[in-house]
Amino acid sequence: MPAISLWRATLAAIALATVTAGAAVAATDWPSKSITLVVPYPPGGPTDIVARSVAQGLSEELGQTVIVDNRSGAGGNIGAELVANSDPDGYTLLLGTTAHAINMSLFKNLNYDTQKSFAPISLLTQGPLVIVTRPDLPAKNVGELIALAKASPGKLTFASSGNGQSTHLSAELFNAMAGTRMVHVPYRGSAPAMTDVMGGQADLMFNTMLSSMPYVRDGKLKALAVTSAARSAAASDIPTIAEAGLPGYEATAWNGLLAPAGTPDAVLQKLSAALKKVLARPALQKQFAQQGFDAQWMTPADFQKFIDNEVKKWAEVVKVSGATVN
């Protein structure tokens, strides 16, 4: 090898070794400052509630403050894009949801790829949605809701936490399977959508049990059915949609933790280990269970497989429902 080529190769090897060593040291020292957890929805909604509980637990396990940063809009895409373009150093994380699997097929142009732009850390929670209506809606069960919707095509409205959310596509799947034509009204998060259902500005919503059930118990909302295949332990008196009049229907919602692609594996493993402890806390498990969610930890590899399966599953739902977002 010519001397000049050997010299260049040596410099390249030294540079690579320096970068690799620097990354290793950074991963070893991580976290040395506060961590930002981006929640792509407004404060007060179900995703925000999960995020703040998990952030507190991670703060205690990691010894650094985990700050929740709400960046809502565009069906969860604004927050996701922000994290996808952040430095892959473990200091900016995303509270990912079912929507980020749905958006892959629902939106024509995304500035991130759910399967490639992020490094998966773990699933956090999973659970059914519940159909809640304004208290005076003249439908006491799923069968009556279907009959009411068919009697007035295009008049019943369903609110959602935004285009592409599970609260949107679950209702679109219902429309497709029941042969109804309820009209979608998207909001910038679950909390404002639910407020309008309670106020009568929208007729119903497919919402998480975490944020809906307190209002159901107070009589401010009426619960018709849950979207899971089996009844929820958090409200065993509420039937499933399948048993209440629409056989074969099933949909669930989830939350998970993601980092930008390229985040050092050592950092991901530290986060994974900390999350395993947080999600195993009895108090946290009880808190989520009371609201219809199961706390579920996964390895990064298993969570990647989970995401891949979700993207595929919801692509089929988007196709069946005919839902699109420009």
Domain ranges across the chain: 10-127+253-321, 129-235
Which residues does residue 125 pair with via DSSP β-bridges, in sequence order? 255, 295
Going by pLDDT thresholds of 50, 70 and 90, the confidence category of residue 81 is: very high
232: left (phi over 0), alpha (psi -120 to 50) or beta: beta
Going by pLDDT thresholds of 50, 70 and 90, the confidence category of residue 65 is: very high
Q: What residue spans of the chain are helical by DSSP H?
A: 3-29, 46-62, 77-84, 98-106, 142-151, 166-178, 190-199, 209-217, 265-279, 282-290, 300-321
Mean pLDDT, the chain, rounded, equals 90
Residue 45's φ and ψ, nearest 5 degrees, are: -85, 175
Instruction: Express each pLDDT in 210-224 by its tens digit.
Output: 788 889 999 999 999
Instruction: Express each pLDDT in 91-104 by its tens digit.
Output: 999 999 999 999 99
User: Was domain 129-235 assigned CATH 3.40.190.10?
Assistant: yes
In Å, what is the CA distance from 41 to each residue of 75, 105, 184, 199? 8, 20, 18, 21
Instruction: Express each pLDDT in 116-129 by its tens digit.
Output: 999 999 999 999 99
**CATH superfamily membership of 10-127+253-321:** Bordetella uptake gene, domain 1 (3.40.190.150)
Give Cβ neighbours of residue 26 (< 8 Å, ≥ 6 apart).
Answer: 89, 264
Going by pLDDT thresholds of 50, 70 and 90, the confidence category of residue 300 is: very high
Question: Are residues 267 and 259 in contact, defined by beta-carbon separation less than 8 angstroms?
Answer: yes
DSSP 8-state assignment for residue 96: E
